[in-house]
A and B are shown apart, each in its own frame.
Chain A
Amino acid sequence: MSKNALRTRVAPTMAIAAALALIGGGVATAEENSSLGSSGTPTATPLTFDGWSSCPVEDLDVATCATVVVRGGSMKIGGLTVPVPDGGLKIAGGVKYATQPDGSFVETFVPKPDGRNGVYSNPISVPGGAIGIDTPLNLTQITATVEAVGLPNIKVLDQELTMPVRLKLSNSLLGNNCYLGSTANPINLHLTTTGNPPSEPIGEYPGAVFPAVQHTDNLFAAPAASGCGVFGALNWAVNLRAGTPSASGKNSLTTSSDVYTVAARKVRPPAAAAAQAAEPAAVAQMGAAG
């Protein structure tokens, strides 16, 4: 038998085995109240608030710096429920305000130009994710990672958070390109809250923190899986497992987050602050010269 012929026969066999494992997981999950769980120990260090370095204060139009650290929650997609661990997700950046004729503001989120769109996430470890039970060496472990596929928008005034994301599912069988959602067809999260708790001084850094702000989104839709397994051979298995595509109304995300905020002028380097202070004078001089 040639090597090519062997490869041709082995590949479908692996795909079928993987599919069976995933389907098995789906069955097991259904019997266990459709909860994958994230009881495994995350390998990544939980994300925390670590100052205002993620705020692009060099942009002198940025007026407020904001950081949202998700401290916990739960995401339900179709028949799948995934607990969101403490420090699994952080959104950080700056906010500009454009005053409208009626006195209201249009807020624009400005991330630090590091290619992350202001969204920083850790893989959510799902031990036994593929078949619903732990296995030796964690062979069936799945991790889910939130990836921003567009610019999020933090509305500081209303503590709303809008994010187009895709959910990357990873394990050795699914490969490195298995996603729920895509750049063209993302999961559009729109997290809203109903009031803010009392703020507290941050202490070590300037600004204030609103602890344990509750956010909810019950309206997002979850697209079908793509890129799972060799040539997407396991897309159907992931869709069976996750219940995707899942229409709006069948999914939910609830989070509890610490929301940090500070006026950008308070964390802007002195040189930039001086340039900002000089701006009106320069404009006035230009006006006089003109």
Chain B
Amino acid sequence: MSSRTMLGKTSALVGAAAALTIAASGIAAASTTISPATATPVTATSSGLSFVTTGGLELYCTSVSGSGTTPAAPGNVNPGTGGININIASVGLSGCDLEGVPATITTSGSWALNVNADSGSPMGSIKIPNGGAHVVAGSCVIDVTASTAGPVPYNNTTHTVTANNTGTVNFTSNGGSASCPAAGAGTAKMTGALKFNSTPGITVTP
């Protein structure tokens, strides 16, 4: 065997070993920890959240709020993938309009904020149950179906998740009037920041 051939086989082996190491470390990194480890009450607020349908119609709310409690140890750690859910109760959206048409939104079911550090960076997703929001704007009626809006970046310093025309919110519309999405199923993208207020502030780490 020539030295050149030997070198080639060695390089291949080293490369394969390195790949296995990276893969293994990738699996090991897929974990999420919420701090503090004690159950911590948290309120989520936003001073402007919009949902834009694929048809270009915007549902905008000037105020969004909700409250929940982070899980205490050991529930504050997920050693695997999928992150950790923080159940959000009393979700309220007010000051809403559908392209200017006054809209009222009632919420129901179990909403949750899912936080994860599966990719190594803190992320957040809003999980909306089927029928979790009922929107009425004149004769236009929109019902939000099961959706996971996100993941979007979570900032451990400002304790804020920020969406910029991201995520997917599923809905059905009755197509009841103008400024109303066409009858049937549709999707919308989310834009806005949702701040999580707690003492101390919660952080999400791998």
Which residue numbers of A lie inside 8 Å of B, CB to CB?
63-65, 95, 97, 99, 103-105, 156-159, 195-202, 207-210, 259, 261-266
Contact = CB atoms under 8 A, between A and B. Distances in A.
A67 to B, nearest CB: 12
Interface residues of B, number: 23
Most chain A C-beta atoms within 10 Å of own C-beta, residue among B56, B100, B138, B182:
B100
Interface of B: 53, 55-58, 60, 97, 99-102, 104, 136, 138-140, 175, 177-182
A196 B55 contact: no
Contact of B138 (A105, A208, A262): A105
Nearest to A208: B56
A264 B138 CA distance: 17
Contacts of B178: 156-159, 196, 210, 259, 261
A196 B100 contact: no
A264 to B, nearest CB: 6
A289 B140 CA distance: 40
Nearest to A154: B178
Contacts of B175: 195-196
Contacts of B104: 103
Contacts, number: 83
Contacts of A103: 104, 136
Contacts of A195: 175
Contacts of B60: 263, 265
Q: Is the interface of B mostly helix, strand, loop or mixed?
A: loop
Contacts of B136: 103
A262 B58 CA distance: 8
Contacts of B55: 198-201, 208
Find the residue from A201, A208, A209, A262 having the highest chain B CB count within 10 A. A208
Given A63-B100, A263-B99, 11 more contacts: A65-B100, A103-B104, A156-B179, A159-B178, A196-B178, A198-B55, A199-B55, A208-B56, A208-B179, A210-B178, A262-B99
8 cross-chain pairs, A with B, having the tightest CB-CB distances, nearest first: A64-B100, A201-B56, A208-B56, A199-B55, A198-B182, A63-B100, A263-B100, A157-B138
B97 A63 contact: yes
Contacts of A95: 100
Contacts of A156: 100-101, 177-179
A266 to B, nearest CB: 8
Nearest to A94: B100
Nearest to B137: A157
Residue of A197, A210, A263 contacting most chain B CB atoms (<10 Å) = A263
A263 B182 contact: no
Nearest to A97: B102
Contact of A207 (B53, B56, B97, B177): B56
Nearest to A197: B182
Nearest to B182: A198
A201 to B, nearest CB: 3
